[in-house]
Amino acid sequence: MKIGITGGIGCGKTYVCGILRKQGFPVYNCDDRAKRLMKEDEGIKSALTELVGPELYNEDGELNKPVMAAYIYASKENREKVNALVHPRVKADFNMWCNFQDSEVMFMESALLYESGFETEVDKVIYIYAADEVRIHRIIQRDRINRTEAYTRMKSQLPEVVKMKRADYCIINNGSNNVLKQLQDIKI
d(CA 131, CA 40): 36
Backbone angles phi, psi at 27, to 5 degrees: -130, 125
* CB atoms closer than 10 angstroms to residue 8: 24
Backbone angles phi, psi at 31, to 5 degrees: -65, -45
Residues near 35 by Cβ (< 8 Å), separated by ≥ 6? 63
pLDDT at 131: 93
pLDDT at 176: 83
pTM of the model: 0.88
Backbone angles phi, psi at 168, to 5 degrees: -85, -30
Element of type H or E holding 27: strand 27-29
Q: Decide if 3 contacts 105 (C-beta within 8 A).
A: yes
Q: Within the chain, what is the greatest distance between any pair of CA atoms? A: 49
Residues near 10 by Cβ (< 8 Å), separated by ≥ 6? 130, 134, 135, 136, 137, 138, 139, 142, 150, 154
pLDDT string in tens for the chain (188-residue length): 999 999 999 999 999 999 999 999 999 999 999 999 999 999 999 999 999 999 999 999 899 999 999 999 899 899 999 999 999 999 999 999 999 999 999 999 999 999 999 999 999 999 999 999 999 999 999 989 999 999 988 888 888 889 999 999 999 999 888 999 999 999 77
pLDDT at 160: 87
Residues near 90 by Cβ (< 8 Å), separated by ≥ 6? 30, 33, 34, 37, 116, 118
Where does 36-89 show beta strands of DSSP type E? none
Where does 43-188 show beta strands of DSSP type E? 106-109, 124-129, 169-172
